[in-house]
Amino acid sequence: MTNDPRSAQDPRSAQEPRSADGSPAGLPPGYPYRADDEITPREVAQLAPDAALLVDVRTQLEADICRLAGSRLFPLQALEARIDELKAEVDDDLDRALVVYCHHGRRSLTATFMLRAAGFRNVRSLAGGIHLWAADIDRSMPTY
């Protein structure tokens, strides 16, 4: 499953293989992985279709280049103003799993903290962003 990455399982419960430096497999050496805040592309790829809502916080121009199937676009610069729209998207289920992604993972980490502050309780950022997804999971995906 490369383009519809969601599941009912909590990916942290799976025994993800580890790299030599102890970080989850698939991350670049030295990647400053934040286990409580991030989820790896390999973990997301293992998820089944309706387990998590994929939230893209990049711009429309970036989303036009490539995107994860089924994701919803909420650009970071408009996210705060669209929180109620996102809550409606999950039927006000603030425990619904959200996987937030951007290009390299920095904006999505910011969005993760914003969404948690807004009451969402099960939010994690895609480590390495869609760039790492394309490199590790779907090499046919356009990159930029």
**Residue type (1 letter), 74:** F
Nearest CA-CA partner of 70 in 82, 56, 86, 54: 54
pLDDT attached to residue 128: 97
Summarised one tens digit per residue, pLDDT across range 10-59 is 444 445 566 656 668 899 988 999 999 999 999 999 998 889 999 999 99
For residue 106, name the pLDDT band (cuts at 50, 70, 90): very high
Radius of gyration of the chain from its Cα atoms, rounded to whole angstroms:
14
pLDDT attached to residue 41: 97
Pick the CATH number of 33-136 from 3.40.250.10, 1.10.580.10, 3.20.20.10, 3.30.70.270: 3.40.250.10
